Amino acid sequence: MPHIYAKYISKVLELPLKRDNFIVYDRFVNERAELFFVSQDGVDFALTLRRKNNRYLIKYDKATRPASTFILTKALSNLAIALECEVENSNLALVQKKESEVSPWLLKPNFFEKNPTFLDGKQAELEVGFGSGRHLSAIAQEFKEKIFFGIEIYKPAALQLLGRIERENMPNIFVVDFDARLFLQTLPSDSLDKIHIHFPVPWNDSPHRRVFVKKFIDEAFRVLKPNGTLELRSDDEVYFKDACGLILEYKTSNFHVFKNRQILVSSKYEDRWKKQGKDIYDLIITAVKKQNDDKIECNFDFENAMDISIAEQICSLPAIVFDGIVVRFEDAFKSESGAFIIKIILGSVDMPESKYIYTRDGISSFYPTKPLPIRDNMIAFKKLKEKLYGKSN
Ligand SMILES: C[S@@+](CC[C@H](N)C(=O)[O-])C[C@H]1O[C@@H](n2cnc3c(N)ncnc32)[C@H](O)[C@@H]1O
């Protein structure tokens, strides 16, 4: 990740500082670090400056990381110039070459918040954890009239498929490098025809880490159209039997089981297991639809501004963990302008989001963006407001 090591930082900045498409509009300090809220080419995020063994490390703030490393690199370079720092070493020149990360086929996890009608009237399928992307590319090329979403948590695999999409012209595949369990929660109800999950990691020793759990199945059923299917393919007998057990717990269920069924294409994993003589199992489940099973309404507005005295107290509180949800207060910073921020972690314990609550001129809001509009984040936000205001308003 892009960073700069500097020996000496001489300049105190007059804010807001503007040069070309770079703005530094607030600076926060506590005993541990300095934080700059910046905007580069219209994208808001934070950069941090920390003292490390007689020198300074300037880098991005993880909680606010922009999607493009290219933008981040430009902002770091602009901040270093503004601070007139003596750069000892940096990796900006190396990182800058990787602009290819910005692809029109790479969607942000909040894509459906901004484009809720994108799938209206379309046929669409989603693959969870596509790995090499061999299966996803094959079905996308076979069914060119359909839209395909590939959700992969491992970024290098996502970047590899994005390269293939451009080289082999597969404009009907969209990639999201995110946790599929959370992304699914952002999709509109009744929007997909199929969800494929091929060879998920079995996690037989820690089943709570699995993707195919009741919460995922419920969410898949909500997102699938009536008669849409959830299709699990696995070489792991223990995992497969657990999956069948989960489906049998539903009051009504309609599913088919196959052993060593041939499908359109064999993935890299599948080839490996077949060579070892392993059996391959398929579970194809038709969605069980609930009445009025709509996507939860999410509103992440703070009705009242946070008080600075609460901000200071709250950071010493232990994490709040309940029903797979977490709210944890991490750190607080003040700025010379009278603004203050609290860094918090909130959402699902499996993949919580890191955000700032920014209070300035009598208004509190999430920075740089609101949490993803999903059930777990909304439940966590209600709990956060109870802590802040003593009630869930
Ligand atoms: C065993 S590999 C199978 C890859 C591919 N489906 C195949 O058949 O070759 C499991 C894949 O799921 C991805 N994965 C694991 N958990 C995930 C999650 N929560 N969301 C999205 N992808 C995930 C992993 O990064 C990995 O690429």
CA of 163 relative to ligand 1 center, distance in Å: 18
Residue nearest to atom 14 of ligand 1 (CA): 129
75 located within any domain: yes
CA of 128 relative to ligand 1 center, distance in Å: 7
Task: Please indicate, yes or no, whether residues 264 and 119 belong to a single structural domain of this protein.
Answer: yes
Task: Please indicate, yes or no, whether residues 212 and 250 belong to a single structural domain of this protein.
Answer: yes
How crowded is residue 5: how many other Cβ atoms within 10 Å of its Cβ? 18
Task: Please indicate, yes or no, whether residues 44 and 91 belong to a single structural domain of this protein.
Answer: yes
Spatial strand order in the sheet of 173-176: 173-176, 147-151, 124-128, 192-198, 224-234, 281-286, 254-259
Residue 70: pLDDT band (50, 70, 90) is confident
Task: Please indicate, yes or no, whether residues 156 and 211 belong to a single structural domain of this protein.
Answer: yes
> What are the CA-CA distances from residue 55 to residues 52, 73, 82 (Å)?
5, 20, 17
Task: Please indicate, yes or no, whether residues 68 and 119 belong to a single structural domain of this protein.
Answer: no
Q: Write down which residue in 100, 132, 163 finishes a domain.
A: 100
Looking at residue 95, what is its pLDDT? 64
Q: What is the pLDDT of residues 104-163, one digit of tens each?
A: 999 989 999 999 999 999 999 999 999 999 999 999 999 999 999 999 999 899 999 999
Task: Please indicate, yes or no, whether residues 130 and 222 belong to a single structural domain of this protein.
Answer: yes
Residue 338 has pLDDT above 50, yes or no: yes
The rounded mean pLDDT for the chain is 91
299 located within any domain: no
Pocket of ligand 1 (CB under 6 A): 128-132, 151-154, 157, 179-181, 198-201, 211, 267-269
Residue nearest to atom 27 of ligand 1 (CA): 131
Q: Ligand 1, closest atom to CA 351? A: 19
Nearest to 37 by CA among 25, 55, 48: 25
Task: Please indicate, yes or no, whether residues 91 and 134 belong to a single structural domain of this protein.
Answer: no
Q: Write down which residue in 79, 100, 121 finishes a domain.
A: 100
Nearest to 181 by CA among 221, 124, 236, 128: 128
Counting ligand 1 atoms within 8 A of each CB, the residue from 153, 187, 216, 231 with the most, and so the one to mutate, is 153
Task: Please indicate, yes or no, whether residues 111 and 252 belong to a single structural domain of this protein.
Answer: yes
Can you tell me whether residue 144 is helix, strand or coil? coil
Task: Please indicate, yes or no, whether residues 33 and 173 belong to a single structural domain of this protein.
Answer: no
The CATH number that applies at residue 165 is 3.40.50.150
Place of tokens 């082999």: 168
Report the amino acid identity of residue 189: S
Q: Write down which residue in 286, 320, 350 finishes a domain.
A: 286
Residue with the bigger pLDDT between 311 and 30: it is: 30
Range of the domain at 271: 103-286
361 located within any domain: yes
Counting ligand 1 atoms within 8 A of each CB, the residue from 127, 128, 208 with the most, and so the one to mutate, is 128
Place of tokens 């804010």: 15
Task: Please indicate, yes or no, whether residues 325 and 375 belong to a single structural domain of this protein.
Answer: yes
Task: Please indicate, yes or no, whether residues 174 and 54 belong to a single structural domain of this protein.
Answer: no
Rg (CA), the chain: 23
Looking at residue 381, what is its pLDDT? 96
302 located within any domain: no
**CB of 214 within 8 A of CB of 229?**
no
Top-confidence range, 16-20, 59-63, 280-284: 280-284
303 located within any domain: no
39 located within any domain: yes
Q: What is the pLDDT of residues 176-197, one digit of tens each?
A: 999 999 999 999 999 999 999 9
CA of 152 relative to ligand 1 center, distance in Å: 6
CA of 130 relative to ligand 1 center, distance in Å: 6
Place of tokens 């009242």: 304
Q: State how many domains the chain has.
A: 3
159 located within any domain: yes
**CB of 360 within 8 A of CB of 337?**
yes
Task: Please indicate, yes or no, whether residues 231 and 144 belong to a single structural domain of this protein.
Answer: yes
The number of residues in the chain equals 393
Q: Ligand 1, closest atom to CA 268? A: 9
Q: For residue 307, how far is the Cα from the chain centroid?
A: 30
